[in-house]
Structure 1
């Protein structure tokens, strides 16, 4: 169950991973929001140039048991639509003043976190925390900006004495995955869910019986399909100019959730590790 289930964000984030016919339904819904609650299944099928069965499959893909529950969720989301329109992401634009850039970046980062809270499944987070608490070691796999997220997670979990390692290049990912076993947890970080190096490592880890966790935007991606636990993020649909800023912030937020969840669950004995590492670093800063 998502913390604040917003079907409009879900459709936006999942659109690229839908089948071509489901995408036709999604496009029509997003472009004609006001009229959707008034349409029957047959009418939506006709307007989107699909079929009744395609509309119902689309609703199921979005996580709804039927068309009625989908429409109820659309109506609820429309209630805050005016505010939502004022609260859109802003891309990098030539000629913006520095004060405008500062405000836009702060807004985009806040929006990425807020939207991720709307789509992430709390039960999946709980399953991930339980797996991390009981595992022998943690391995993280990601490249580029996702690799930086893995390194952040490594730094955090090492502070509470968890055996943890981030692997950010193809060769080290393959060799690390080959050595994982049933007592280990592997976290695969990829916004697209289709990063080839990450998927290769996932196949090897899964064959070894390792528990696998995906952190990704696309819940219908190959990564999400193959992992045991899926932690969805939400990121803006901006141009190449913004790079991976939105996804990185969302992924770092998920890492913080996992770390805090594990530290809280094991607080009676990780407190001493947090204190030791804090004191060591504090002493370093005084020199």
Structure 2
């Protein structure tokens, strides 16, 4: 039986599932508490699939059968209240402001906790090596991820001069076409499967530049192009595109990577940060 949390395994394997198996995955993630009490026939009916599909789904995740899968769900949700709605950013109409604040706090905290569990130290070290040795570093993303790419370039520009955020999708394609093998692209994409992402990654790969992808899904189509994948936590529902919890998780990864780069040259980074602070001090009243 897999040692990792069953829901993390589902997220990791999601893009390898068939369309029918994805229905089972979607139902299990959204209805975590209910699924552990269902028979295989009940789950099949609710998910709209055949029982054989559920059996294949369980084995694909590494479980011997449906009973083992249900046990894994029970272990993953043990000792927890049913926070599935809160984790998806959904609140009950009768919730008080205080209750809403606690629910949002739980959701954001859970995203950080998940990300901490998913961090692979070796991937962080290798990503830092790429940043330190890169000629140019371009930060990219689409939609809400584009904002994260801006924040990444802003943060790293306090210690390195070679970071640039490229915003427009046309400009991204143009910039990607001018890359060299010594350059690096840090790409933010929660799904790892948008059309613009795939087009740009193909250009970047053709130019033989290196790629760090920050995503929720390490086996997404975009991850296949990346040299390094940094996986964030936060289970985002279909109506939660660009949720704050997911952004917090990605910002945390960015901060971890930033501090790992700083560890390579503590004195140099400190000196550059002091210069930046001195220049910006004049901007304040």
The two structures have a TM-score, normalised by structure 2, of 0.78
CA contact (8 A) 2:188 2:214 kept: yes
Distance (whole Å) between structure 1 residues aligned to residue 73 and residue 95 of structure 2: 32
Question: Aligned pair 1:83/2:86, yes or no?
Answer: no
How far 1:11 sits from its partner (Å)? 3.0
Q: Secondary structure at the match of 1:240?
A: coil
Report the number of matched residues.
263
Q: Which moved more, 1:239-248 or 1:189-198?
A: 239-248
Write the deviation string for residues 21-56 of structure 1: whole angstroms up to 9, x where unpaired.
654775679666589xxxxxxxxxxx9515988755
1:284 matched to 2:280: no
Q: Does 1:174 align with 2:181?
A: no
Relative distance call for 1:83 and 1:12 in structure 2 (3 A) is farther
Equivalence for 1:165: 164
**Other-structure match for 2:125:** 126
State the match for 1:196 in structure 2. Answer: 195
Name which of 49, 53, 68 aligns with 2:52: 49
- In structure 2, the residue matched to 1:17 is 15
User: In structure 2, how many angstroms separate the alpha carbons of the residues matched to 1:250 and 1:101?
Assistant: 20
Q: Deviations over 1:115-138 (max 9, x none)?
A: 112223222122111111111121
Change (3 A) 1:239 1:93: farther
The corresponding residue for 1:231 is 230
CA distance change for structure 1 residues 168 and 48 in 2, over 3 Å: closer, same or farther?
Answer: farther
Q: What is the CA-CA distance between 1:210 and the residue it aligns to?
A: 0.7
- How far does the alpha carbon of each residue in 1:160-192 deviate from its partner, in whole angstroms, 9 at most, with x for none? 023111122210110111111111111111111
Q: Structure 1: which 5+ runs fail to align?
A: 36-46, 60-66
Whether the 8 Å CA contact 2:127–2:228 is kept in 1: the answer is yes
Distance 1:13 1:161, change over 3 A: same
Contact 2:130 / 2:184 at 8 angstroms: preserved in 1?
yes
Please, what is the CA RMSD of the aligned residues?
3.3
Matches of 1:95 and 1:76, distance apart in 2: 32
Whether 2:57 is the aligned partner of 1:58: answer: no
